Chain A
Amino acid sequence: MFEVIGSYVINIFNILGSYSLFCSRVLKRVFSKELKMSRVTEQMYKVGAQSFVITAITLTFVGMVFSSQVTKEFLRMGAAKIIGGIVGFAIWRELGPLLTAVVVAARVGAAISSEIAAMKVTEQLDALKSMALDPYSYLYAPRFIALVCMLPLLIIFADFIGFMAGMLIYVVVYNGNSVAYFVSAAHMLDATDILAGVLIKGPLFGAVIALTATFVGSRTKSGSQGIGMSATLAVVASLIILFILNFFVSFLVF
């Protein structure tokens, strides 16, 4: 019994240890001259292309549902003046950054981890190494930088879409005034609300998604089953880390 728990705990610490080592290696490569810019831009383009549309769809509907709930209740309480601000708070602080990260983890994170996993089980990672090419600077670091840079941009875009979708519902369904919606948001939100989501959560979440996906992919055990399992594991693990981190960032910043 104790033995089982003991080996389980040791195993977890082992994985955490390798994960930190992996992260530090990737970070080191970010500043090395072996890293080629062309690989980074190629990945940035991929991240954008893969997640632009689903991010837009997600935030459109989340913005609309949130705004419609808030508007209905707040109109009944006669608090129309703060609706734009409340929707803005929710979107810019939490829903935009977090849901964008969730979408990107599911789309891009899964793609990266199954790509790396496939390379691992078909000996492509070994082939890279045998050609004196380092997978950290050739594969992992470019994906890391791409996600760290792209996620903030996607979040800005997502926040904007979500906020505007909220306004659409407010104006079209509840006959609200669009100017009042903006004024309310402008009045209640300050720079921190917008910037923290973009500039703190964005890069941080991007880093988590990239590091988790590449780490999990690179440790895939052989077999085509392993590839699918790695994709699932990468998504589940990054979502858990994202939700926990999101709580602490919000708690500390706002």
Chain B
Amino acid sequence: MIEINNLVKIYNDKRILNGLNLSIKEKKRTTIIGQSGCGKSTLLRLILGLEKFESGEILIDGTSLSGLKEREKNKIRLGFGMVFQSSALFDSLTVAENVGLVLKEHTNMTTGQIKSKVMNALDLVELGSAYNKLPSELSGGMKKRVAIARAIINDPKVIFFDEPTTGLDPITSTVIEQLINKLTDYIGATSVIVTHQISTILNVSQEIYMFVEGKAIKTEAADKIMKSKDKIIYNFVNGLVE
């Protein structure tokens, strides 16, 4: 589905991604872990074509991203949903307008049709009551959930979750984790989840990659990762300082 070969991304002379290889399989949930600042969010932004990379290759369904025009990139983007780490809700729009924006701009749906889809998506994240609120009236965790509703509103084939459960209480976290699982199990979406939260790693992952020094290492499956044989992975998931 998405193949990443030898990807190099440099910020201010620093090689954030240094020959990264990664393969995201269709209809699977791939989890990415790694220390803060190691380039996890950067990778998602690169796949969406929001930024340029130095060298290497990103293949989406076999098509290389590098050669594409903006219009072709936009076509790909419409098949993707992205939950930004900072939620990135539009301040000037209400929750409902935020969630329904893609439908309003890119489909011929009527206002009524959009409204019912938006209601549906907000119910999935248990935020039906926030329909008419502005983002500034929401807590961080609520914003995150609105961002999730916004990302899944147009039934994308691929969904990126950048720290979807960070800042949520354990119960809401579980609701979101179950939602992520449901999206792949029933709707067949491909998900990439960036997370630090152990519960999320354990509950959603089908494949796990850990970023170390600009490269991705494939780890054990979720049920074995806490006892990983790799010292770096073991220390990371158990929070041990060398």
Interface, chain A (partner B; CB < 8 A): 115, 118-119, 122-124, 126-134
Contact = CB atoms under 8 A, between A and B. Distances in A.
B102 A131 contact: yes
Interface in B57-110: 70, 74-75, 77-78, 80, 82, 84-86, 88-92, 101-102, 105-106
B50 A131 contact: no
A248 to B, nearest CB: 36
Query: Taking chain A's interface residues, is the majority helix, strand, or loop, or is none over half, making it mixed?
Result: helix
B88 A131 contact: no
B48 interface: yes
B78 A124 contact: no
A126 B88 contact: yes
A214 to B, nearest CB: 15
B82 A127 contact: yes
Contacts of A131: 77-78, 101-102, 105-106
Given A131-B102, A132-B106, A123 B77 contact: no
A123 B50 CA distance: 11
Contact of A126 (B45, B70, B92, B105): B45
Contacts of B91: 118-119, 122, 124
Given A126-B45, A127-B82, A132 B88 contact: no
Contact of B90 (A127, A130, A132, A134): A127
Interface residues of B, number: 22
Contacts of B45: 126
B88 A129 contact: no
Nearest to B82: A130
Contacts of B106: 131-132
Contact of B105 (A118, A130, A133): A133
A122 B88 contact: yes
17 contacts: A119-B90, A122-B86, A123-B86, A124-B91, A126-B84, A126-B88, A127-B84, A127-B90, A129-B77, A130-B48, A130-B77, A130-B80, A131-B78, A131-B101, A132-B74, A132-B75, A132-B78
Given A129-B50, A130-B50, A131-B101, A124 B88 contact: yes
B30 to A, nearest CB: 18
Nearest to B70: A134
A168 B45 CA distance: 61
Nearest to B80: A130
Nearest to A133: B105
Nearest to A138: B105
9 closest A-B pairs (Cβ-Cβ)? A132-B74, A123-B88, A127-B88, A132-B77, A130-B82, A123-B84, A131-B102, A132-B78, A126-B50
Nearest to B90: A124
Nearest to A130: B82
Given A127-B88, A131-B102, 16 more contacts: A123-B88, A124-B89, A126-B45, A127-B90, A128-B90, A129-B50, A130-B48, A130-B77, A130-B80, A130-B82, A130-B84, A131-B77, A132-B74, A132-B75, A132-B77, A134-B74
A253 to B, nearest CB: 39
